[in-house]
Amino acid sequence: MTQTAKPSVRHPGLKTNKLGLTQRDYEGTQSTLCAGCGHDSITAAIVQAFFELNIAPHRVAKLSGIGCSSKTPTYFLSEAHGFNSLHGRMPSIATGANAANGKLAYIGVSGDGDSLSIGLGQFCHAMRRNVNMLYMLENNGVYGLTKGQFSASADVGTKAKRGEENQMPPIDPASMALTLGASFVARSFSGDRKQLVPLIKAGLTHRGFALVDIISPCVTFNDHEGSTKSYAHTREHGHEVVETDFVPLLHEIQVEQDHGASTAVTMHDGSVVRFRSVDEHYDPTDRDAAYAHLKKLQAQGEVATGLLFIEPMSRDLHELENTVDEPLVEVPFEKLCPGSGVLAELQSHWR
């Protein structure tokens, strides 16, 4: 595989955002994934979300682990620093990077193999620490790069391409996140950009760990009949529990009219996530109810999608660690080194 640059043709009529950038400025190199891969649709949604949020690409750190999903950060935001780390270890890189500089936007892209097997521990602990990042779990139930083994998210009874049936119960990242105290849990489908883009925007704006579990069919190894992570199956069984729209701080009034009986949740920076329950009485700020509803739908063979849970005022890693407001990387050395006088004073006690 080699890296292919996209031709830099620019249509003069392209729309620009507040930074004067076009959506093309938020793209990366050409994808080398299989044609029709769900991940590519997610990449497109990411590009749109960053563009619409007017985030300067170089103020973003994009990180990933290993696997098909983890290749995708090269396909968006070419002006952002990227880090394609180790299998299952992206959360620790993101945690350290965020500790050093909490002022960048962080997006981590991972898959079900990366997050739910080899990296399950780091995935859980990043949630526990409430690292301020958007965590995209591109979930296809299968190991693509190693050619089609079941992943830990494969449902019982799901069939591999060659026919064998999975017997192990799946690990569901969304319900697990709810029990671990995650502050933002959403699920979506790569084929539903209308749902996905507002969720990405809300996740990026949420201060804390925002999990978006996205069913993203693998066209090569897991899109057949007998798979519960195929396009057809997800379309049929996807069940939107809440319809979500993300309202950036400055646009609140313009979009308000689009919604009828909706509920607004104000985020840390003052922007608003507006959601309307599709299921009667669903309250995405009630963790226990969210969990119960998720399980109920699961029992019916349905996949709950939308913004499942949000705790907008949760304390992120920096608040928990009481770090200074300025990024640690920007603190001048003089403020960090106590100097010779302090050293002498300290040592006067070491006698």
Partner 1 sequence: MDQNSRDRTNDFVVKIATVNGTGSASANGMLMQAMFRMGVPVSGKNVFPSNIQGLPTWYEIRVNKHGHLARSPNVDLMVAMNPKTYEQDIAEVRPGDAVLFDSSWPLEEELFRADVLFLGIPLSHMCVENFEGARARILMKNIAYVGAVAALLSIDLEVLEEMLEEKFSAKQHLMDSNNVAIRLGYDYAKEHFDGLLRVRIEAMDANRDSVLMTGNMAAALGCVYAGATVGAWYPITPATSLMDAFRGFCADLRKDPETGKNLYCIIQAEDELAAIGMVLGAGWMGARAFTPTSGAGLSLMNEFLGLAYYAEIPAVIFDVQRAGPSTGMPTRTQQGDFFTVAFASHGDTKHVLLFPGDPTECFYFAVKAFDLAERFQTPVFVVSDLDIGMNDWVCEKLEWDDAFVPDRGKVLSAEDLQEMDHFYRYLDVDGDGIPARSLPGVDPKGAYFTRGSGHDRFGRYTEDGDLYQDVVDRIARKIEGAAEALPPPEVRLANDATVGLVTVGSCRGAVLEAIELLAEDGMALDFLRITGFPFSSAVEEFLLSHDLNIVVEQNRDGQLKRLLMLETAVPKKKLASVLDYRGSPLGADVVVQGVRNQLGLVAVEAG
Only one of the segments 77-85, 164-172, 212-220, 239-247 lies at the binding site for partner 1 (rule: CB under 8 A); that segment is: 77-85
80 binds partner 1 (CB under 8 A): yes
Q: How far is the CB of 240 from partner 1 (least distance, A)?
A: 34
Cα separation values, 153 from 141, 167, 176, 316, Å: 5, 12, 12, 27
HSE on the CB side for 177, CA within 13 Å? Answer: 31
85 binds partner 1 (CB under 8 A): yes
Question: Could you say which of 10, 59, 194, 251 contacts partner 1 (CB under 8 A)?
Answer: 59
171 binds partner 1 (CB under 8 A): no
Tokens 């009219």 map to which residue? 257
Structure tokens belonging to residue 36? 């029709």
Only one of the segments 72-80, 135-143, 157-165, 166-174 lies at the binding site for partner 1 (rule: CB under 8 A); that segment is: 72-80
**Beta carbon nearer to partner 1, 93 or 202:** 93
Judged by phi (left if over 0) then psi (alpha if -120 to 50, else beta), residue 136 lies in beta
Question: Could you say which of 168, 232, 264, 346 contacts partner 1 (CB under 8 A)?
Answer: 346
- Determine the angle formed by the axes of helices 120-128 and 90-100, rounding to 10 degrees: 30
Helix (H, G, I), strand (E, B) or coil at 264: strand
Per-residue interface string for the shown chain with partner 1, residues 302-331, x marking contact by CB under 8 A: ---------------xx--xxxxx--xx-x
- According to DSSP H, which parts of 101-238 are helical? 112-113, 120-128, 173-179, 193-205, 231-237
Residue 125, judged by CB atoms within 10 A of its CB (0-12, 13-18, 19+), counts as middle
Do residues 230 and 238 touch, judged by C-beta distance below 8 A? no
342 binds partner 1 (CB under 8 A): yes
Only one of the segments 147-155, 178-186, 262-270, 333-341 lies at the binding site for partner 1 (rule: CB under 8 A); that segment is: 333-341
335 binds partner 1 (CB under 8 A): yes
By rule CB under 8 A, what count of residues binds partner 1? 61
Question: Could you say which of 22, 40, 89, 219 contacts partner 1 (CB under 8 A)?
Answer: 89
129 binds partner 1 (CB under 8 A): yes
83 binds partner 1 (CB under 8 A): yes
Only one of the segments 86-94, 195-203, 242-250, 263-271 lies at the binding site for partner 1 (rule: CB under 8 A); that segment is: 86-94
- According to DSSP H, which parts of 208-269 are helical? 231-237, 252-256
57 binds partner 1 (CB under 8 A): yes
- Contacts of partner 1 in 237-266 (CB under 8 A): none
Question: Could you say which of 96, 169, 181, 270 contacts partner 1 (CB under 8 A)?
Answer: 96
Radius of gyration of the chain (CA): 21
73 binds partner 1 (CB under 8 A): yes
| Residue 162 CA to its chain's centroid (Å) | 31
With residue 60 as reference, give the H or E element that holds it.
Answer: strand 60-64
**Beta carbon nearer to partner 1, 103 or 251:** 103
Contacts of 286 by beta carbon, 8 Å cutoff, 6+ apart: none
DSSP designation for 326: S
Do residues 323 and 101 touch, judged by C-beta distance below 8 A? no
* Contact set with partner 1 (CB under 8 A): 1-3, 56-59, 61, 73-74, 78-86, 89, 91-101, 103-104, 121-122, 124-125, 129, 317-318, 321-325, 328-329, 331, 333, 335-340, 342-343, 346-347, 350-351
